[in-house]
Amino acid sequence: MIKKTGAIISAIAATAFITSGCMCMHKNCVKTAPKQVKVEKPVTSNAKAQTASINEQQLKSIFQDIHFNFDKYNLTDIDKWGIKQNVPVVLDKIVQYMKKHPSIKVRIEGNCDERGTVEYNLVLGWKRAMAAKQYLVSKGISPDRISIISYGKSRPLDPAHNEYAWAKNRRDHFSVLSK
């Protein structure tokens, strides 16, 4: 009788656990939708927060990605696959901003498309970042204010496998480190 009662209790507990959902790491686990949270607008506005968002927008418009031709790291104009860009004009905007704001430091992140080996693309990404750094230094920006890194093909902007995506992924990205 005790074995039968234990089996019944185990069956009831298992059924309750399964039907209530579980916290598990399996792909097919039932997940409940998160509760929607209503965010209300604050009564008073914060002018400093608005200024910060404007500055972020300004920084994005100044520190634009520059793009490269396939298997190249020289700074040339790009007018291919829908990406139209005058690279020196973009870099000159960055120079002007950095000259006006001497506390700004920048990290130039070299990126490549998915074609080629990991090692090859790491070197190519580094050469792309170095080309942009050398341009900024040639225009009077201290090399101490510029760091570079290559991500090779590990951080694609567009994960598609076509010419348009590859053109977008061949780029230098500028991250502002301090303001």
How, if at all, do strands 105-111 and 146-152 pair? parallel
As a whole number of angstroms, the distance between CA 1 and CA 98 comes to 83
Return the pLDDT at 73.
92
For the four alpha carbons of 151, 157, 160 and 166, in that order, the dihedral sign comes to negative
- 1 alpha-carbon distance from chain centroid: 64
Dist. CA 54–CA 60, nearest whole Å? 10
- The per-residue pLDDT for 75 is 87
Phi, psi torsion values for 111, nearest 5 degrees: -130, 155
The identity of residue 19, as a single letter, is T
How many H-runs (helices) and E-runs (strands) does the chain carry? Answer: 5, 6
Angle, alpha carbons 129-133-138 (nearest 5°): 150
Cα angle 76, 82, 83; round to 5: 35
Is residue 176 within 8 A of residue 55, CB to CB? The reply is no
Residue 18 Cα to chain centre, angstroms: 40
Per CATH, domain 68-178 is 1.10.540.10: no
Each of the 179 residues of the chain gets a pLDDT tens digit; together they read 555 555 555 555 444 444 444 444 444 444 444 444 444 444 444 444 444 444 788 888 899 999 999 999 988 766 555 566 677 788 999 999 999 999 999 999 999 999 999 999 999 999 999 999 999 999 999 999 999 999 999 999 999 999 999 999 999 999 998 76
